[in-house]
Chain A
Amino acid sequence: MVQSLVEPTTSGDISVPQELYVKAYRIMLLARVLDDKFASLYRAGKIHGGVFLSRGQEALSVAIGVALREGDVFAPLIRDLAGRLAFNEPILDGVRNYFGSTLGPMRGRDGNVHRGRPREGQLAMISHLGAMISVVNGTLFARRMKNIAGTVGVATCGDGATSTGSFHEALNQAAVERLPLVLVVADNQYAYSTPTSRQFACRSLVDRAVGYGISGCEVDGTDLAECLRVVGDAVVRARAGAGPQLVVAHLLRLCGHGEHDDASYIDPQQKSSPLGGDCLKLAEEFLRQQCWAGADTLAQWRNEALHKVEDAVATVQREPTPDPFTEVWSALATAHLGEGNA
């Protein structure tokens, strides 16, 4: 039997090493700066389709990326820019995908947050929520079949995806197979505009862990130190063979579902509550309190992030976009089985 372990949240634990905290903060900052750039490019009409930001979820996301090693698997969702960067996604991949550059991983065939390098453990999400979890299961199942030990797979989703059949099927499957899956749920209070009161009726989504016979824990998603500790521990437990881990983070999405959405439905009381705290600002305060960084250092880090982002955007804006006349219009790897445009 798998033991169920539902841990209460404990805040104020300062056991996270300075080096890890600073590293994570700087990736969060880079993600925020890059997101701000995407938003301004969107408003300037420079991006095709939607823009989906991670604002408010960077602490949780980065904690995943820094807990993973090369060889692990990560199936991010739409608010995981920080986690992607921490898991070694080049900054150019994100920029190229928004511009549809042919040098990007999806070559203009898919855009925005739909990107990845599956063979490098970075799975490319489809839009159907919950669908990536069982794919992560499959990668872990294959590793086991190939006698590769010690790797972990992380899938993320929001509160909305927990209502899907895919979520249930995949989590149960991971439990049955006792796979090293860490499923991180960002309970950001809204699925697009739908509040959690219309999404689920349990006290906390972490209660579901008991039903699947897996470990579950909760974390304050606004607190970087807590996210690093709780997510890090879950990854360590999965890696050690303790089976699937469900991590539920409580936070508030500090932006619309996409940049087309003014998020006017978000309750102002939630915004002013601790839940609505901005994890990046809170992390900055923490850095100052710990004397790990002062105003000058923080400004210097932001400046470096801005330069990285401006360089990446300037590079990609000069890159080729797809050519319909040279595009290979076949969806098959086995070219001779294609039907062309018959």
Chain B
Amino acid sequence: MSITYLEAIRSAQARALAEDPRVFIYGQDVGAFGGAFKATKGLAKEFPGRVLDAPISEDAMAGLAIGAAIEGLRPIIEMQFADFSTVAFNQIVNQAATLFWRTGVPCPITVRLPCGATSGSGPFHSQTMEAIYAHYPGLVVLTPATVEDAYSMLLEAVAIDDPVIFCEHKLLYYHLKAAALPTEALPVGKARIAREGRDLTVVAYSAMVHEALAAAEVLQGDGWEIEVVDLRSVKPLDTDTVMGSVARTGRLLCVGEAWPWGGVTAEVIARVTCEGYDLLDAPPQRLNAKDTPVPYHPDLWAAHRPTARSIVESARKVLQH
């Protein structure tokens, strides 16, 4: 018996619906069809009137969720692809993210973003949006890398009194499996040491955690012990855990699937450099996707995003400095 990352997301939503009458799901094709990726499969039948198809109107979807949250409900909205959340950007960053600060009324909405590049998906079904949402005050941005975190962090997202951007990686949906759903979890805001090591800290999140772990295996063959930190949430960012790891290793490489200008990897390096300059034995490095839209062809796609191979190359540069 095993459960996939996608099944964990479905199970978390089923549990949230079962345990909290304030929860409902709203999004394109999420009803009887069960969602483009089947993340809501069977839920419309199991919870009548609480899993509803939306028109192709991301702006109005987010607006409706915000209004319902003002009335005390806890909506989960599914953007069919993270890329399409740009249509709802205004509602998310200007309406949801400012509501509590402006009025004192919390805005507990969960925005599920199926994100990240998959082969053959091209520029508009592949984007990672965590950096741009993390830039705005008033949002919590989660990037689960494991089946366990997909489950526990989605449940926590629904319980949090603030708007949560839940970045679930499409590449992990089907192939990433766990033996069972977790019974306990680290809280949101805590990073996780995914692999211990003494020579180099690789900070990653979402699907890049798995690329980083694969790179660590390769480098172990050369005698290097790589520590991999899974950020889990990019906002809040667990600077303490990252700093603790760098204090042990003295070296830092940050890996993100998002574009290179600014973003999570830049933020991590800025914090470590400003607050922990003396901990570093070598200049910290960062590895991101290339600064172009995400390409369609598998060969271009594989070269566009960081992979275990490119992480190994970057890691060697830091290790050999």
Contact = CB atoms under 8 A, between A and B. Distances in A.
Interface of A: 105-106, 109-110, 114, 116-119, 123-124, 126-128, 131-143, 145-146, 165-166, 169-170, 172-173, 176, 330-334, 336-339, 342
A329 B63 CA distance: 25
A90 to B, nearest CB: 15
A106 B94 contact: no
B235 A339 contact: yes
Nearest to B96: A135
Scoring A136, A145, A176, A333 by chain B CB atoms within 10 A of each residue's CB, the highest score goes to A333
Interface bracket on B = 35 or more
B66 to A, nearest CB: 5
Contacts of B55: 169, 172-173, 176
B215 to A, nearest CB: 29
A342 B239 contact: yes
B162 A145 contact: no
B143 interface: no
B63 A166 contact: yes
B71 A142 contact: yes
A321 B241 CA distance: 39
B64 A337 contact: no
B99 to A, nearest CB: 7
Interface string B60-89: 111111111111110100000000000100
Contacts, number: 149
A124 B90 CA distance: 15
Given A166-B59, A332-B100, A118 B70 contact: yes
Contacts of A173: 54-55, 57, 60, 64
B321 interface: no
Nearest to A168: B57
Given A134-B57, A142-B70, A166-B60, 9 more contacts: A106-B102, A127-B94, A135-B66, A137-B64, A138-B71, A139-B71, A141-B67, A169-B60, A334-B161
Contacts of A169: 55, 57-60, 63
A128 B92 CA distance: 12
B91 interface: yes
Interface of B: 24, 49-50, 54-55, 57-73, 75, 87, 90-91, 94-95, 97-103, 105-108, 137-138, 140, 160-162, 188-189, 235-237, 239, 271
Contacts of A337: 140, 160, 162, 188-189, 236
By Cβ-Cβ distance, the 5 closest A-B pairs, closest first, are A138-B67, A134-B63, A142-B71, A169-B57, A331-B138
A140 B69 CA distance: 11
A119 to B, nearest CB: 6
Contacts of B69: 138
Contacts of A132: 63
A246 B101 CA distance: 32
Contacts of B60: 133-134, 137, 166, 169-170, 172-173
Contact of B73 (A118, A133, A142, A170): A142
Contact of B67 (A106, A139, A176): A139
A106 B100 CA distance: 10
B219 to A, nearest CB: 31
Scoring A117, A136, A138, A139 by chain B CB atoms within 10 A of each residue's CB, the highest score goes to A138
B91 A134 contact: yes
Scoring B54, B67, B97 by chain A CB atoms within 10 A of each residue's CB, the highest score goes to B67
Contacts of A137: 60, 63-64, 67
A270 B236 CA distance: 55
Contacts of B100: 331-333
B85 to A, nearest CB: 14
Contacts of A176: 55
A261 B45 CA distance: 56
A176 B53 CA distance: 11
B144 to A, nearest CB: 16
B91 A114 contact: no
A333 B108 CA distance: 9
Nearest to A139: B67
A152 to B, nearest CB: 14
A139 B65 CA distance: 9
B106 A333 contact: yes
Nearest to A339: B236
Contacts of A139: 67-68, 70-71
Given A333-B161, A337-B160, A131 B67 contact: no
Contact of A145 (B24, B61, B91, B188): B24
A166 B63 CA distance: 9
Contacts of A342: 237, 239, 271
A169 B63 CA distance: 10
Contacts of B189: 336-337
Contacts of B102: 106, 109-110, 114, 124
B138 A135 contact: no
A172 B58 CA distance: 12
Contacts of B140: 332, 334, 337
A143 to B, nearest CB: 7
A117 B62 CA distance: 20
Contacts of B105: 118-119
A213 to B, nearest CB: 13
Given A333-B162, A342-B239, A165 B137 contact: no
Nearest to B58: A169
Scoring B63, B137, B235 by chain A CB atoms within 10 A of each residue's CB, the highest score goes to B63
A106 B64 contact: no
Contacts of A332: 100, 138, 140, 162
B80 to A, nearest CB: 15
A118 B95 contact: no
A126 B59 contact: no
A206 to B, nearest CB: 21
B68 A141 contact: yes
18 contacts: A123-B70, A126-B95, A131-B90, A134-B59, A134-B66, A138-B63, A138-B67, A139-B68, A139-B70, A169-B63, A330-B101, A331-B100, A331-B137, A332-B138, A333-B100, A334-B161, A334-B162, A337-B162
